[in-house]
Amino acid sequence: MGSTKASRAKIKLALILGLGSISIVLLFILSLTTGVMDISFQEAMSGLWNLIQNGGEHENTKELVLWQLRIPRALGVIAVGIGLSVAGAVMQALIRNPLVDPYITGVSSGAALGVTTAVLAGVTIAGLGVFVTPVIAFVGAVMAFLFTMLLAEAAGGRSISYVLGGVIVGIALQSGTTILMYFNADRLHSVLYWLFGSFSTLNWQSTWIIVVCVSVLSFIMLLYAKEFNVILLGDEQARQLGMNVKPFKTGMFILVSALAAVCVAFTGIIGFVGLIVPHLVRMVIGGDHRLLLPASMVVGANILLVADIVCKTVIAPSELPIGAVISIIGAPFFGYLMIRMGKEYVM
Amino acid sequence: MSCDGELTVKVDNISFSYGAKKSLCPRTLKGITIDAKKGQLIGIMGPNGCGKTTFMRCINKVLKPQEGAIYIDGKDLDRLKMMEVAKICANIPADVPDDFHLSVEEFVALGRYPFVTGIWWEGEKDEQLVRDAMKAYHVTHLKDRKLGELSSGEKARVLLAKGAVQQPKILLADEPSAHLDLKYKLQVMQALKDLSRQGVTVITASHDINLIAKYADLVIVISDGGIISYGPPAEVINEEIIRAVYGVEVTIIRDGGELYVIPLRPADPEKGDDENTRPCEKGIVAD
């Protein structure tokens, strides 16, 4: 039996992961060459090699820049790309609606309100130091999600309840953010900086947290790829196939909101990745989550690396906010997708 | 076990009400008792809102009756986990999820979910069963097509293949031929008949009395949550019962073992349509 469905799928999967990883490595190195200081491709390669050999001990300024700024930033970009894409694919399966993204459950609005409050009120929490903002963003995101979940469950717990609940919570929290900003117009810069999304603040500490959280949470979701296929049939059908739907969905909703919250917490709001990447991948390789999730991971990482390189180079030495860049590329692309796939995606 | 080996579904005096305040709501099912044997095709008839779907949802444990007990394959349904129910009882849903780019083969394979022991992939045996089922229902040539691209007739065959691949002892099909043209209606009912001849107990609800009369071994007529009549089609289906249950005058032509129901007119045009709709069900969406 040379060509069973599983063996064909495994070959596809190996191909996607292989090609995707090669491209991630190339873009990673390219990303190391972009920025204010001129570092050539060769210098980046040799610098990277030296740093690996010396365990992070730098021999010159260029290696210092690579080690302190560019490597953690590029790794963070990869991790956030993976995290947002997985979160998008999982949210779409859980809510059974291919047009939702990780923020639909109010996650981004919750994080935004948290950060706005923290920054404008000058909150400091002993022991957290510079991590105050990400921690508060994370708490805001998860709290917003819990509100959405309570609301959705009270309304019957159906897919549409989650979408509507998310919209309601999102709007309410956004107006909170707006009011806070309205009365603190003189101190908005650092809030806006976060709201626009940026990778420029990433350092080793924050990158490690993102990488570890994204790896663990994505791995758990990968383990349940088969279950995400079953859940597409709807709660009742999934139950009839023997799945314990309610605890599965509740658990996954919490994990996926944590995943989205981690991505948001350090880098701000980066929309569209979680929406577009799973779509793009579904068009090419289909909807089986055993292929969709891993493929979304590599595609998401690639897209965000490219977007970050664009942000760093277009108006160098300044940077464009990545959230805006992704949306500028994403909106027309998504419009194109909707028109092209209109017949299939009748909601 | 109190049931003999032949019995695959034993429904013992179940009652069910929707709504939070059960005592205030009229019961959707009232004291239903049936015995279904291995290899029987059982057709459920009755007007809209009479409790057909509710009854079928009780059999696969989606709903839990407030009174009475159900035994499937000799086991008390109450004590079975959903995964154990899924290994005995399959259900043919009304439609396929067509927004997610699942292929026909991937969709049919979902029927093996209760049996897959690996973390990710179906085993060799599961894949063979998927191939066999796709062949049996003539959908092998569609295996890489997306569900959203199928016609209604193709979807119906794919749904049957997914039900069959689960290798159930009991197969539930609620209105399996509702949106199909005449040819596919007959094909679907024949497929259910074939499954029953292979030993599966098939329970199907339909508004098409002629299809039930032609294919079912036993007919259950439900009206207002209770069983009005239960037996072979030739004994159960007659002018009086259809007038009583559906409020329609019919004439029935009997030709050897076959019977054909020809609707003539509403029995009492003055009566409204709403008398079967119970207040407690209005606020509840079935799926």
Contacts of B84-88 spanning 24+ positions with Cβ under 8 A = B84/A242, B85/A240, B85/A242, B85/B60, B85/B61, B86/A240, B86/A241, B86/A242, B86/B113, B86/B114, B86/B166, B87/A242, B87/B114, B87/B115, B87/B168, B88/B168, B88/B169, B88/B170
Whole-number pLDDT of residue B271: 53
Q: How confident is the model at residue B278 (pLDDT cuts 50, 70, 90)?
A: very low
Q: Chain B contact for A286, CB < 8 A?
A: yes
Handedness of CA B138, B140, B143, B144 (dihedral sign): negative
- Summarize pLDDT for A3-17 with one digit per residue, the tens: 677 778 888 889 999
- Summarize pLDDT for B107-120 with one digit per residue, the tens: 999 999 999 887 88
The domain locations on chain B are 7-94+167-282
- Summarize pLDDT for A273-310 with one digit per residue, the tens: 888 899 888 888 888 999 999 999 999 999 999 999 99
Q: Any idea which of A248-252, B37-41, B277-281 has the lowest mean pLDDT?
A: B277-281
In total, the C-beta contacts within 8 angstroms joining chain A to chain B are 104
Overall fold of domain B7-94+167-282: Rossmann fold (3.40.50)
- Yes or no: domain A5-340 corresponds to CATH 1.10.3470.10: yes
Tokens 């109190």 locate to: B2
Q: Chain B contact for A52, CB < 8 A?
A: no
Residue ranges of the alpha helices (H) in A183-272? 189-196, 204-223, 225-231, 235-240, 245-267
Q: Say if residue B47 is preceded by a cis peptide, omega within 30 of 0.
A: no
- Summarize pLDDT for B11-22 with one digit per residue, the tens: 888 888 887 555
Instruction: Report the mean per-residue pLDDT for chain A.
Output: 86
- Summarize pLDDT for B159-206 with one digit per residue, the tens: 999 999 999 999 999 888 877 888 888 988 999 999 999 999 999 998
Q: Chain A contact for B127, CB < 8 A?
A: yes
Q: Which of B63, B99, B116, B284 to mutate to test the interface with A (most CBs of A within 10 A)?
A: B99
Whole-number pLDDT of residue A127: 63
Please return the burial class of A313, using the count of CB atoms within 10 Å of its CB with bins 0-12, 13-18 and 19+.
Answer: middle
Q: Do A288 and B113 touch (CB under 8 A)?
A: no
Q: How confident is the model at residue B2 (pLDDT cuts 50, 70, 90)?
A: very low
Residue A1 pLDDT greater than 60, yes or no: no
Residue A2 pLDDT greater than 60, yes or no: no
Residue B1 pLDDT greater than 50, yes or no: no
> A42: part of which helix (H) or strand (E)?
helix A41-53
Mean pLDDT over B4-14 rounds to 76
Mean pLDDT over A217-238 rounds to 93
The domain locations on chain A are 5-340
Residue A74 pLDDT greater than 90, yes or no: yes
Q: Chain B contact for A90, CB < 8 A?
A: no
Question: Please, which residues have CB within 8 angstroms of residue B84's CB and are 6 or more apart in sequence?
Answer: A242, B75
Whole-number pLDDT of residue A121: 78
Residue A328 pLDDT greater than 80, yes or no: yes
Q: Which of B101, B166, B174 to mutate to test the interface with A (most CBs of A within 10 A)?
A: B101
Residue B36 pLDDT greater than 50, yes or no: yes
Whole-number pLDDT of residue A193: 76
Residue A318 pLDDT greater than 60, yes or no: yes
CA A347 to chain CA mean position, Å:
25
Mean pLDDT over A60-85 rounds to 91
Rg (CA), chain A: 21
Whole-number pLDDT of residue B5: 44
Mean pLDDT over A196-213 rounds to 87
- Summarize pLDDT for B69-102 with one digit per residue, the tens: 899 988 898 999 999 999 999 998 877 777 778 8
pLDDT higher at A131 or B47: B47
CA A290 to chain CA mean position, Å:
19
Nearest CA in chain A to B159: A233
The beta-carbon neighbor of B99 closest among A5, A98, A156 is A98
Contact list in A for residue B127 (CB cut-off 8 A) is: 1, 4-6
Q: Chain B contact for A239, CB < 8 A?
A: yes
pLDDT higher at B273 or A68: A68
For the CA atoms of A48, A49, A54, A56, what is the dihedral angle to 10 degrees?
Answer: 20
Q: Chain B contact for A347, CB < 8 A?
A: yes
Q: How confident is the model at residue B234 (pLDDT cuts 50, 70, 90)?
A: confident
Contact list in B for residue A286 (CB cut-off 8 A) is: 101-103, 106, 146
User: DSSP character for B222?
Assistant: E
Distance (Å) from the C-alpha of residue B53 to the closest C-alpha of chain A?
A: 13
CB contacts under 8 A, A 255-284 vs B, are 282-283
Q: How confident is the model at residue B276 (pLDDT cuts 50, 70, 90)?
A: very low
Q: Chain A contact for B87, CB < 8 A?
A: yes
Q: Let me know: does B85 contact B35? Beta carbons within 8 Å.
A: no
For residue B7, CA distances in Å to B34, B35, B72 come to: 10, 7, 8
Q: In angstroms, rounded to a whole number, what is the distance separating the alpha carbons of residues A117 and A125?
A: 13
Q: Let me know: does B250 contact B239? Beta carbons within 8 Å.
A: yes
With a threshold of 0.85, tell me whether the complex ipTM lies above it.
no
Contact list in B for residue A234 (CB cut-off 8 A) is: 93, 97, 287
Contact list in B for residue A8 (CB cut-off 8 A) is: none
Q: In angstroms, rounded to a whole number, what is the distance separating the alpha carbons of residues A328 and A143?
A: 29
Mean pLDDT over A195-216 rounds to 88
Q: In angstroms, rounded to a whole number, what is the distance separating the alpha carbons of residues A64 and A57?
A: 8
Mean pLDDT over B230-256 rounds to 88
- Summarize pLDDT for A237-282 with one digit per residue, the tens: 899 999 999 899 989 988 998 898 888 888 888 888 888 899 888 8
